Homo-oligomer: A and B are copies of this chain.
């Protein structure tokens, strides 16, 4: 039994859902694909319409955690996945540079810990700062003429895709956890500071690094190796500076 259990646990996070029927439909889809944890950030009222649409999944609604602040909702999760139908054609491309859903679900079997699947508002999706807080950005392949999925449809497709992979979980390496991840990002930020990176480019570059790591999903071993490199680099820079 313990062997078969996945090392990851999904959390569905709806940010600012406005339509209570959608929230209910999401709960039903979660139960259809064995996902239990629902986090709601500033949601609409979970009214009778919501409960009716949830059908047999009312327990998921009863147990949903409600937050008033996005940062509170995500702080205990190890890995954050943003979803959006909007792809960037501007200079924010690193922010919204997406990974295709199928490529992600193939990789997800390697991840350990609490994985937050973040879905935005029905009308505006996720804000840039919310996307920036996520490790990767996911794109569900859809029609170019009408890419925007209904909220509960988007959740359904993502959960279905993950559910398919669960059946055949290969031998797993130990990927880095939440603390390690933040250390790695922090070190990279320190490195940018240390090399006098142009301040106005810094944020984008940090996000780009986050995205690359997000897609790469480094193992614990790789994390330590990376940190070693950063640490050596930083050490070198600082030593040179004190020599001057």
Residues of A within 8 A of B (CB): 21, 25, 28-29, 31-34, 53, 55-57, 102, 140-143, 145-150, 152-153, 156-157, 160, 163-164, 167
Chain B residues within 8 Å of A141, by CB: 160, 163-164, 167
A21, B33: Cα distance in complex, Å: 23
In the bound complex, residues from chain B placing their C-beta under 8 Å from that of A150 are 25, 28-29, 53, 55, 152
**What's the least CB distance linking A14 to chain B, in Å?**
16
**Main secondary structure on A side of the interface with B:** helix
Contact pick for A153, options B25, B102, B163, CB 8 Å? B25
Given contacts A29-B149, A29-B153, A153-B153, 18 further A-B contacts (CB under 8 A): A21-B21, A25-B150, A32-B142, A32-B146, A32-B149, A32-B153, A33-B142, A34-B143, A53-B150, A55-B148, A57-B146, A140-B160, A141-B160, A141-B167, A149-B156, A150-B152, A152-B153, A153-B156
Chain B residues within an 8 Å CB radius of A31: 143, 145-146
Could you tell me the distance between the alpha carbons of A140 and B156 in the complex, rounded to whole angstroms? Answer: 12
- Provide 23 A-B residue pairs closer than 8 Å at the C-beta atoms, listed in order of the A residue: A21-B21, A28-B149, A28-B153, A29-B150, A31-B146, A32-B143, A32-B146, A32-B147, A32-B148, A32-B149, A33-B143, A53-B150, A55-B148, A56-B146, A57-B146, A102-B164, A141-B164, A142-B163, A149-B156, A150-B152, A153-B156, A157-B160, A160-B160
Inside 8 A of A142's CB, which chain B residues have their CB? 32-33, 163
Q: Which residues of the partner chain B approach A25 to less than 8 Å between Cβ atoms?
A: 150, 153
Residues of B with C-beta under 8 A to A143? 31-34, 163
